[in-house]
Structure 1
Amino acid sequence: MMSYKAPLRDIRFVLFELMGADELAALPGYEDFTRDLIDPILEEAAKICEEVLFPLNRSGDEEGCTLENGVVRTPKGFREAYQTYCEGGWPSLACDPEFGGQGAPHMLGVMIEEMMCSANLSFGLYPGLTQGAYVCLSGYGSDELKRTYLPKMVEGVWSGTMCLTEPHCGTDLGLLRTRAEPEADGSYRLSGSKMFISAGEHDLTDNIIHLVLARLPDAPKGVKGISLFLCPKYLVHEDGSLGARNGVSCGSIEHKMGIKASATCVMNFDGATAFLIGEPHKGLRAMFAMMNAERLAVGVQGLGVAEASYQGAAAYARERLQGRSLSGAKDPEKPADPIIVHPDVRRMLLTQRAYAEGCRALAVLAAKQLDLSRHSDAAVRRDAEDFVALVTPIVKALLTDLGTECANLGMQIMGGHGYIRENGMEQYARDARIAQIYEGTNGVQALDLVGRKLPAHAGRLLRSFFHPVSAYIEANSGDKQLAEFVQPLGKAFQRLQQATAQVARAGMRDPDEAGAAASEYLRLFGLTALAYLWTRMAEVSFSEAQKSEDEKFYAAKIATARFYMQRVLPQTSGLFSSIMAGGKTMMAFDEAAF
């Protein structure tokens, strides 16, 4: 049986020792969020994840959601867990106090998201979608819409969705057909169908607020003709009470490989009353505010699964007796040694650990820059915005790719027992897999990185990462203690710089060349970013180990950093070679031969 314990020691290390979360209290709006407040919040989040959400993970997967007469019911225990979640004030944590939120930093919020995703990924999708809808509506909705809907969403008694995909179009939103007809009272009537809508219908909240992309009658063709609308499940009276059922319904729920306790719905809009968000024909800009928030959140889903899988695999490896150590019996009094003595098992466990802890650092770094982008002066804000824009596709794709790898490694470590449902490990592999697909497939994230982010503002976004990494390498190149980390980081960074130039040059000549290199380039970029963070983590650990009683923690951190540099980072050599080889071998292949 799987178990889960929130990795609070490492979370605190990343937040306070690596990223300086204490400094957030100096930013306007974050004055109260000192360590004295953040620590107990983390403790309480750990409790609800360990004691309330995790026990429902396997049962929710086995029971799944059900649809009967248009009503979707979540698995047993989910409604009570959601009520507990709301009573604790968790939906409001990162929301604006103007609408009843607590105004917490994203650095704190992202670590709580990780714990939820480790404990129960399906459950986490319900409040996660609401948070994304909150971001979109708070940024682009009219004052009237915000007053009407945001307080209830912040409280958690109403939830939100994002309705983009249609049966004939997913990523290519220019093909969508859902229509919006204007009414005399300023509202609109929506007609059409959306599919793959997470949390589209369920029994956790009193109302569900759908954010829907649709076309007006005079809409231009393509993505320039898309508008965004708010369409509630129940209409809302002027006093805030619920009125009649709106013309939106769930036609079916998907029977999926994983996240079975999350309701994935086909939603039908039959003349449903809706309200315009933002300007006509400019809905994508508003929707991408939500999508970018969701992409960072989906990356954290990969991180959460990686951590949970690692914990389960490490516990199993310490207990499972199988064979003898190649260098001689380690427990001669037992019939066999625990499998943790075997090099290949250690390789897999350390890979999981290096990925999980490295990805945690990257997620918090992105969250820190997001905080700075919203609470700092103009100069700091622009640099922070550039960094967030640059790393969003990397966080989404890298963390979900590595989360899936970790889930599969966990299953491999447990062998046949990992493949058996009742042991819990195979669920992580099934749950993690969707994160590489939804909110824009990871291939689309790679194209976004090379096609949009690299050339944006004449390469300005790249400077938000390249300059600090280059300065760090230069400043620490003479440090003998850090040499084993700085030197391989420097080589990987040089490869990244050369690959960047190659992708830019080749892409200008032939866009297919940039597309052919995109996925390898994103992976190269991501692994180099993790190397930078692992070097910084080693630096902090060397310093803190000398003045702390927690020597074992820092020793393990340094040892994991060494493993990453020596056994994981060399992947960048192969990725670099693949990028430099170009795309001729794939684009010249005869299409008829596939």
Structure 2
Amino acid sequence: MNPGLRATIDFLLYDWLRVQALTERARHAEHTRETFDAVLDTCERIAREKYAPFNRLVDTEEPRFDGERVVLPAATHEAWRAYAASGMLSASQDYDVGGMQLPYTIEAAGNAFFAAASVSIGAGMLTVGNANLLMAHGTEAQRRAFAQPELQGRFAGTMCLSEPQAGSSLSDIATRAVPDGDDFESDPLGPRYRLRGNKMWISAGEHELTDNIVHLVLAKIPGADGRLPPGVKGISLFIVPKWLVDTQGRLTGERNDVALAGLNHKCGWRGTPNTLLNFGEGRYPVRAPGLDGRGAGAIGYRVGAPGDGLRCMFHMMNEARIGVGMAATMLGMAGYLASLDYARTRLQGRLPGPAGKDPAQPPVRIIEHADVKRMLLAQKAYCEGALALALYCARLVDEQRTGDARAADDARLLLEVLTPIAKSWPSEWCLEANSLAIQVHGGYGYTRDFPVEQYWRDNRLNMIHEGTHGIQAMDLLGRKVRMEDGRGLSLLAQRMQTTVARARAVPTLAAHAQALARAIDEVGVATRMAWADGDPVAALANAVPYLQALGHTVLAWIWLDVALAAVGRDDVASRGRLQACRYFFHYELPKIGPWLQVVRTRDSTCAEMPEDAF
């Protein structure tokens, strides 16, 4: 692992976010900076030894189904065992359930090392999110039988939302769940149902890394007429384990009726099995009590109340979206560091000027060329800025969990607004960083002799993962910035203005402060004008440019705030951060003008394009 990555994370955690102050709170009182460092050391070591050396291997040896099981390289099994043994699956859980009660900010920072080393091998993002959902919304029996084995690394977890015919349109899911007999409410693991349907794009949906796989499945309970309720309000959430368990989480030896229908062969993330799963097709008929047990459906236990599934699932989805943003960030960071190393050693060309015209002069390292510096500086600005945003959001999670009532509510609202940005902005701009890393390598970057082409392929998923750009944009402009009468967006603007006021007092940052103040005003005007007549069709036609503009404004704010922590420090890393901040304000923030122009005017160019004119 590149030592500069650890130095960057340490600066953001301790010098910028001052995360050590969390040890003054009761929940984290037994921790110190030393325990935080020990966790980061452990994560960095495991990532360096068990993940990074096998990143290319898992890309070339894709998961395969041998007719009975999904086969993964031995390195993936070893990486999972090392990760589970580290305790990171339960890092932020309570001591009394075997957790470490770490701040989520430290957990997120530790997981960043694994994403940089090999996002394709993966760590425990979905398993942890699955367990956290059950700890928050499950019954005591469900927590004991499913969540705690996940936190121990014995079970893995998935999230089963999408269906082949519905894609991201959750209101159109067709998986159905019917009560399993007259006594379905009396099962100690929760109300018992039989599920039938198909789920697509399920990451880690079938493997043998763990003793069991706990699927969290969205399905609809038919009404008295046998029809599924329309819309998302009829969606319920169910635990559907691969293997049935008793109330203590012990395997009963009976396979649930969950069958692998196929593996999806992806552009990137090839080390993670991605599956199509059939529930209740009869391949593994369940002999549990209730219906006839001969292909009657997969056994599932309802979580929460009927129709409350989407609200429960969003507990996991929001965590996953921040995790996707971190994965995108670290893939961009890995490409940046690789291209930086390459640029420092690759000799090619000569500098402009009289000396450069003399072929007898030796070639220079490509990092000396201004355009290569431009590409490296762009990558640094995108990736370090995105890392700061991800850690800031993680710090808000800690504030929501351990702050006083006012601070916790502010953190909740800020996370509502920032989550679509924390997922989407790194997914777009750290992917652009990966593209620039290939460009720095020239033709070599387009070959498999260097890792940057794989980083790009792996990162391309993240613009789709956990909700596409368009979905995040409509969530942001259609709901998040308007919720509670716009209080979340106002609170975000206030935080930005606080940074502006501090930066105005610093001569080297005053111009950036002025530029950010103007951008904040422009976003506010565009938000109001987009909804001037309340027409959602007109307002949301340019939701993606709005997401891009607000995202760039947020990253300008993040960079200015980081610069305030770096200014006055006489070290090369701080000078680099100040230069990256300068780059962002000079080259990136000016882009918001055209984006906001189409939002303000509710430009209909795209919406009014006739289909046959394409």
| 1:261 corresponding residue in structure 2 | 271
Residues 249-303 of structure 1: per-residue CA shift (max 9 Å, x gap): 2111001111111000111111111100000111110011111111111011110
For 1:60-71, what aligned pairs fall within 5 Å after superposition?
60-71=58-69
| 2:339 corresponding residue in structure 1 | 313
Whole-angstrom CA distance in 2 between matches of 1:94 and 1:566: 39
Whole-angstrom CA distance in 1 between matches of 2:500 and 2:346: 42
Whole-angstrom CA distance in 1 between matches of 2:357 and 2:319: 49
Whole-angstrom CA distance in 2 between matches of 1:576 and 1:468: 21
Whole-angstrom CA distance in 2 between matches of 1:392 and 1:582: 24
Q: CA deviation at 1:335?
A: 3.7
Asked whether the equivalents of residues 135 and 293 of structure 1 are also in contact (C-alpha less than 8 Å), the reply is: no
Partner of residue 140 from structure 2, selected from 140, 143, 146? 143
What amino acid is the match of 1:372?
E
Whole-angstrom CA distance in 2 between matches of 1:92 and 1:387: 25
TM-score norm. by structure 2 comes to 0.92
- 1:230 match: secondary structure: strand
Whole-angstrom CA distance in 2 between matches of 1:499 and 1:197: 38
| 1:526 corresponding residue in structure 2 | 551
Verify: 1:211 aligned to 2:216, yes or no. yes
| 1:27 corresponding residue in structure 2 | 25
Q: CA deviation at 1:501?
A: 2.0
| 2:46 corresponding residue in structure 1 | 48
For 1:296-375, what aligned pairs fall within 5 Å after superposition?
296-327=322-353, 328=355, 335-375=362-402
User: How many residues are treated as equivalent by the alignment?
Assistant: 584
What amino acid is the match of 2:574?
Y
| 2:293 corresponding residue in structure 1 | none
What amino acid is the match of 1:206?
D
Residues 373-407 of structure 1: per-residue CA shift (max 9 Å, x gap): 11122111111100011100011110111121111
> How large is the RMSD of aligned CA atoms in angstroms?
1.8
Q: CA deviation at 1:7?
A: 0.7
Asked whether the equivalents of residues 99 and 150 of structure 1 are also in contact (C-alpha less than 8 Å), the reply is: no
For 1:56-455, what aligned pairs fall within 5 Å after superposition?
56-124=54-122, 126-184=123-181, 185-186=183-184, 187-218=192-223, 219-243=228-252, 244-270=254-280, 271-327=297-353, 328=355, 335-455=362-482
Residues 434-465 of structure 1: per-residue CA shift (max 9 Å, x gap): 11002110110000000011111111111221
What amino acid is the match of 1:49?
A
What amino acid is the match of 2:495?
P
What amino acid is the match of 1:274?
G
| 1:10 corresponding residue in structure 2 | 8
What amino acid is the match of 2:537?
D
Verify: 1:539 aligned to 2:544, yes or no. no
Task: Summarize the Cα distance change of 1:29–1:238 in structure 2 as closer, same or farther, 3 Å threshold.
Answer: same
Report the identity percentage: 36
| 1:483 corresponding residue in structure 2 | 510
Whole-angstrom CA distance in 1 between matches of 2:503 and 2:465: 40
Task: Summarize the Cα distance change of 1:397–1:336 in structure 2 as closer, same or farther, 3 Å threshold.
Answer: same
Whole-angstrom CA distance in 2 between matches of 1:331 and 1:297: 51
Task: Summarize the Cα distance change of 1:417–1:162 in structure 2 as closer, same or farther, 3 Å threshold.
Answer: same
| 2:536 corresponding residue in structure 1 | 511
Whole-angstrom CA distance in 1 between matches of 2:583 and 2:460: 26
Whole-angstrom CA distance in 1 between matches of 2:536 and 2:564: 41
Residues 137-162 of structure 1: per-residue CA shift (max 9 Å, x gap): 11111111011112211111111000
Asked whether the equivalents of residues 252 and 265 of structure 1 are also in contact (C-alpha less than 8 Å), the reply is: yes
- 2:277 match: secondary structure: strand
What amino acid is the match of 1:56?
F
Asked whether the equivalents of residues 4 and 119 of structure 1 are also in contact (C-alpha less than 8 Å), the reply is: no
Whole-angstrom CA distance in 1 between matches of 2:359 and 2:512: 38
- 1:211 match: secondary structure: strand
More helix by share: 1
| 1:548 corresponding residue in structure 2 | none
Residues 396-425 of structure 1: per-residue CA shift (max 9 Å, x gap): 110111121111111111111111013121
Whole-angstrom CA distance in 2 between matches of 1:261 and 1:472: 42
Q: CA deviation at 1:93?
A: 1.3
- 2:541 match: secondary structure: helix
Asked whether the equivalents of residues 218 and 236 of structure 2 are also in contact (C-alpha less than 8 Å), the reply is: yes
Q: Which moved more, 1:487-496 or 1:530-539?
A: 487-496
Task: Summarize the Cα distance change of 1:485–1:32 in structure 2 as closer, same or farther, 3 Å threshold.
Answer: farther
- 1:587 match: secondary structure: coil
Verify: 1:571 aligned to 2:598, yes or no. no
Whole-angstrom CA distance in 2 between matches of 1:16 and 1:139: 30
Whole-angstrom CA distance in 1 between matches of 2:269 and 2:606: 34
Whole-angstrom CA distance in 1 between matches of 2:2 and 2:125: 20
- 2:470 match: secondary structure: helix
Asked whether the equivalents of residues 476 and 547 of structure 2 are also in contact (C-alpha less than 8 Å), the reply is: yes
Q: CA deviation at 1:331?
A: 12
Q: CA deviation at 1:6?
A: 6.5
Whole-angstrom CA distance in 2 between matches of 1:129 and 1:329: 54
Give 5+ residue unaligned stretches, structure 1.
546-550
| 2:578 corresponding residue in structure 1 | 558
Q: CA deviation at 1:43?
A: 1.5
Asked whether the equivalents of residues 331 and 337 of structure 1 are also in contact (C-alpha less than 8 Å), the reply is: no
Q: CA deviation at 1:330?
A: 12
Asked whether the equivalents of residues 438 and 446 of structure 2 are also in contact (C-alpha less than 8 Å), the reply is: yes
Moved over 6 A (4+): 330-334
What amino acid is the match of 2:426?
L
Q: CA deviation at 1:485?
A: 2.3
Whole-angstrom CA distance in 2 between matches of 1:222 and 1:494: 37
Whole-angstrom CA distance in 2 between matches of 1:456 and 1:228: 25
Residues 118-141 of structure 1: per-residue CA shift (max 9 Å, x gap): 1111122x5111011012111111
Asked whether the equivalents of residues 352 and 406 of structure 1 are also in contact (C-alpha less than 8 Å), the reply is: yes
Q: CA deviation at 1:481?
A: 3.4
